[in-house]
Structures are given as C-alpha cells and as structure tokens.
Chains A and B, each alone.
Chain A
Amino acid sequence: MTDPRIAGAGVTQFGKHPERTGRDLFAEAGLEALDQSGVDPDDVDALYYGNFMGEIAEHQGHQGPLMAEAIGIDAPATRLETACASAGAAVREAVKTLRNGESDVVVVGGAERMTNIGTAAATDALAIAADDLYEIRAGMTFPGAYALMARAYFEEFGGSPEDLAHVAVKNHEHALGNDHAQIQKPITVAEAMDAPTVAAPLGLYDSCPITDGAAVAVLTTAEYATDHGLDAPVAISGTGQGGDNLALQDRPQIARTPAADKAAAEAYADAGIEADDVDFAEVHDCFTIAEVLAIESLGLFEPGEGIHAATEGTTTRDGEIPVNLSGGLKAKGHPVGATGVAQLATIAWVLEGTHPRADAAPDSTVGVAHNAGGTVASTTVHVMEVKE
C-alpha cells in the first residue's frame, strides 16, 4: 500500500456568487483540477463529493451524479454529508478506495451555494447541524453554539475575547494576497473587539462569512502517478476521523473537542508521525474559538494553551507553527461542503511552494488539515507530506 498523491487541485474564488449554481461552481474548480493534474478524465474511477445544504439552498438533492457530469466524467459519484466536515469525509473515502486497490484515480471535491438564500436563511440552514430537538428548539444558532464553547473555555482555562481577536487579526492578515479568499482586508484587535455582537461573547469578526464556492482535487495512487509521469510530489500519508455526541449538552466537557483528538491520533499513527513533526496546519476556524480548540486537539498546544497562540505570535505566518496560512475559514471563507478539500489544496500548494503564503513555511515537509462538522461531533484530520 502506498500513499495517494495529489495530482491537481482547483478552487474557485470564495465569496458572494449568489447567481452562480452549485454545479457551475463545481465545474470551474473541477475542470481546473483535472487540467492541472494531467489525468485523462476517462481514467477517473470515482467521485466523492461534499455538500451540506443543497436541498435548502438549491432545492437539489442527489448531487453526486450532477457534479460528475458537470466535470465530464462517467464514474460512480457519491455525496457525503458530515455538516462542515463533508469534504474531509469525502477525502477520507477517496484515500481508502485508492489504498485498497479499488481505484487508481479519484476526484474528490465539494461545493456550497449559500448567499443566494440570504443571511437569515443561511443562518437557519447552518443551525441544523445541531440537535433539532434539544439545541435548535432552545435557540441555539451556529455562532451561539461556539459562543457556549468559548465561554466554557474561558471559565475552565482562562483567556479572553481579546485573545480571540488576535486569531481573527492573524487570519485576516494571512488572507491578504490570496486571490481565492473572500475577505482580503486587514483588521486590528480594536476593530475586532468593537464589532457588533453575534452571540456573546462572539462578535462579527469571530465568525466566518457566508460563502459560495467549490474546491476539487484529483487524487491518484503513487503507482498511477509514476506510470503516467505526473508531477505529484505531495502524498496524503495519514487519515483519521472521530465522532462525538451531537449535542453539546451530552458531552462531559464543552471546552474540549475529543472527536478531533481521536481523528488526530488516528491520522498521526497512520502517517507514522508525531505532533512535533507538523510544520504547519490548516484548521477549521469557523469561529475564532474553533481554531483554539483545533490546535489543542492536534497536539500542537496543550489544553488551555491554544488561546494564547495567536496573541503570542506562535501561529502567525512568521511564527513557529503557522496556522491557517490561507486565511482560514475566517477570511478565506467557508463554503461548507467545499472547505475540507480547499484545506487540502492549500496544504499541497504550500508544500509545493506555489501558495501566496508558501514563503512562511519554506522548508516544510508535513502539513495537517483539520476539518470539523457542527460543534465538532464529526472531525477528519489528514496528514500531507512531500514524498519526492
């Protein structure tokens, strides 16, 4: 068994494209990925596709085959849904089928159309990743859920909204110059602190925007890449996935994300690495507190220490372990079902040296992607390494 290679990736501009259909967004990213890969589309054995709110936003279920034909491939196509971790779950399925010999070439991607239904309806749609009976009916919104986690974190470990503001400032700064990013605007800690409240203690700049976009990658076996002379030096060397109780109220600790702990442990063991080997990470910062929880679960910081990472500059692009060089969900944007593959693309491009922020991690060989669904009841972690 050898580790699957990333032969090509394509990402649309993340932003407001309310008039563009999901299938068109996916086609743009998918055709770019296929073109970049050099793979014959007839060789594609399967499509794994992430999408969360297609029924609500586009009145469109059964999107797998729709997306396959949108990029001109004739292959079995399956949609996966694990809320915001849908694309991460799709990557995991792709890795498994390439490793077990069932496929030589797999297209993996995701798309989400969100802004066409407006902020209120999109907020409503995002909320259904929570427990309808016990959370949504008690007024829990998606920002509200992370606000509950943030306050519980402050209570257990300390830290403050100002520390979270530093996460936002960092990720906004990282997104500058990233043409794929929805928000390319520097902000200050004071601006972040003074922004309108969304769900206290979280404000506008603690929250990722609502985003339309798609991301697609073409993965092959190492043997296929060699046989076809593909330029595909980056491998997915580890995959992990963890789960948790859906509702926050049913978890022993609200300020921890054990699903991500499990996913990271599995992915690191799979890749044969330790947390100390990780050079940089793309993590699921749907809200600033989510980045804090993610870097702790990845073992990059001890529990209770992640809150200080951005404030102290450890995770900035000139820090010891850069986190979210893309700008993260916070600034790059979060087209829900596409995010996990957009993270994959970012890491591949940083490792290959072609990403606008690749200079922040010039000699890096190991990057990690952390993609979380809901309040982290689903998490995938993927380890990516330069193999040639």
Chain B
Amino acid sequence: MTETPLNGEYDDWLDSIEAGEGYYLKCDGGHGWLPPRRVCPDCGSRDLHDEPLPDSGDIVTHTTVAVATPQFKDDAPYVTAIADFGPVSITGLVRGVDPEDVSIGDVVGIEVGERETTGDRAVVFRPR
C-alpha cells in the first residue's frame, strides 16, 4: 500500500467501480457528474445524489498516444478515449483491443486497471 494520501471521493469512486457498483452524481436538473462535486456547474443545484453508472458506454473520441509523459512511458503506445455513458462521459485507457481497431461508436465496459509504468490505478475500458 502506498502512504500517499488518497484523493477522497475520487478513490472511493474507483473503489465502487472495482466492486462493480460504479455510480455517478445526478442533480435534480438531470445533469450528471463525477465526484467530488458539491454543486452542479450547469444549473447550480446542490442536491446531488448517487445514481448507478450504466453498464457500458460508447467511445466518442480516442487517440493513440505515442509520446507519453514519464508516468506513462512503459504504457506507450496506448489508447486514451472518452466514452459516453449517457448522463456522464468518462476518460479511460482502452485495453483488450489493437489500437488500430478502436473506433468511434465502439461499446465498452468500465473497470479499474493499473498503469504499467507506475502501478497506479487507472480507469480502463474494454470492448463489450
């Protein structure tokens, strides 16, 4: 275990995904966000409650990163994508598919994996 302090609700959110109980925050205006949030940036509502994260999302854009930062040097080349889960979109690493074969519209599930370079936890998408 690391002695680095955790990032509060963000790490709790990763825990929830690892446990298969992923969630997002929804305001009474119907806007979705990821934690930590105390107020909806869209409508100003402070009434945010947990909702189950949909089981899968659609890739809306993606890139294959060849020139990485030192924290990802052993991961490169790798695919980073944004996937639309309905009320929220999430950024993650796409694994389990050749980078050449990743396309907009691909359906992916979400899980928590490890960054190869550092072992840090990371959001991972896999094709469904």
* Contact between chains at A140 and B91 (CB < 8 Å): yes
Interface pair A249/B91, CB less than 8 Å apart? yes
One of B33, B72, B78, B104 near A151 (C-beta < 8 A)? B104
Stretch at the interface among A102-110, A193-201, A313-321, A329-337: A193-201
The one of B33, B65, B104, B122 that contacts A144, using a Cβ cutoff of 8 Å: B65
Q: Which of B34, B67, B99 has the most CB of A within 10 A?
A: B67
Point out the residue from A123, A134, A148 that lies within 8 Å of B61, measured CB to CB: A148
* Residue in B67, B73, B80 whose CB lies within 8 Å of A138: B80
Asked whether, in the complex, the Cβ of B73 is within 8 Å of the Cβ of A148, the reply is no
- Using Cβ atoms and an 8 Å threshold, which residues of chain B touch A250? 33, 41, 89
Question: Which residues from 238 to 281 on chain A have a C-beta closer than 8 Å to any C-beta of chain B?
Answer: 245, 247-250, 254
Partner of B71, one of A124, A148, A152, A202: A124
Closest chain B residue to A125 by CB distance? B69
Most buried by B among A134, A139, A202: A139
**Would you call B107 an interface residue if the criterion is a C-beta within 8 Å of the partner chain's C-beta atoms?**
no
The answer to whether A141 and B65 touch across the interface, beta carbons within 8 angstroms, is yes
A149 at the interface (CB under 8 A from B): yes
Quick check: is B101 within 8 A (CB to CB) of the other chain?
no
Q: Which of B61, B88, B89, B122 makes the CB contact (< 8 A) with A139?
A: B122
- Please tell me if B92 contacts chain A, counting CB pairs below 8 Å: yes
> Are the CB atoms of B63 and A151 closer together than 8 Å?
yes
Whether the Cβ atoms of A254 and B60 lie closer than 8 Å is yes
Q: Which residues of A contact B88 (CB under 8 A)?
A: 249
Residue of A138, A143, A249 near B122 (CB, 8 A) is A138
| Given contact pairs A138-B93, A139-B93, A198-B67, A144 touches B82 in the complex (Cβ within 8 A) | no
- Contact, CB under 8 Å: A199 / B65: yes
Question: How far is it, in angstroms, between the C-alpha of A152 and the C-alpha of B123 when the chains are bound?
Answer: 21
**Residues of chain A with a CB closer than 8 A to B68's CB:** 123, 139, 141
B79's nearest neighbour on chain A, judged by CB, is A139
| Contact of B69 with A141 in the complex, beta carbons under 8 Å | yes
Query: How many whole Å from A214's CB to the nearest CB in chain B?
Result: 26
CB of A363 within 8 A of chain B? no
Q: Mark B75-104, 1 if CB is under 8 A from A, else 0.
A: 100101110000011111100000100001
A199:B64 contact, CB within 8 angstroms: yes
| Contacting residues, chain A, for B62 (C-beta < 8 A) | 148, 151
Say whether A120 faces chain B, with CB atoms less than 8 Å apart. yes
15 further A-B contacts with Cβ under 8 Å, apart from A138-B92, A200-B64, are: A123-B69, A133-B10, A134-B90, A136-B69, A137-B120, A138-B80, A139-B68, A143-B67, A144-B65, A148-B63, A152-B60, A152-B61, A247-B91, A249-B89, A250-B33
B interface residues (Cβ-Cβ under 8 A, vs A): 7, 10, 33-34, 41, 60-73, 75, 78, 80-82, 88-93, 99, 104, 115, 120-123
Q: Which residues of A contact B (CB under 8 A)?
A: 120-121, 123-124, 127, 133-141, 143-144, 147-149, 151-152, 155, 196-202, 245, 247-250, 254
Can you list 13 A-B contacts (CB < 8 A)? A123-B69, A136-B71, A137-B120, A138-B92, A138-B122, A140-B91, A143-B67, A152-B60, A196-B66, A198-B66, A249-B88, A249-B90, A249-B91
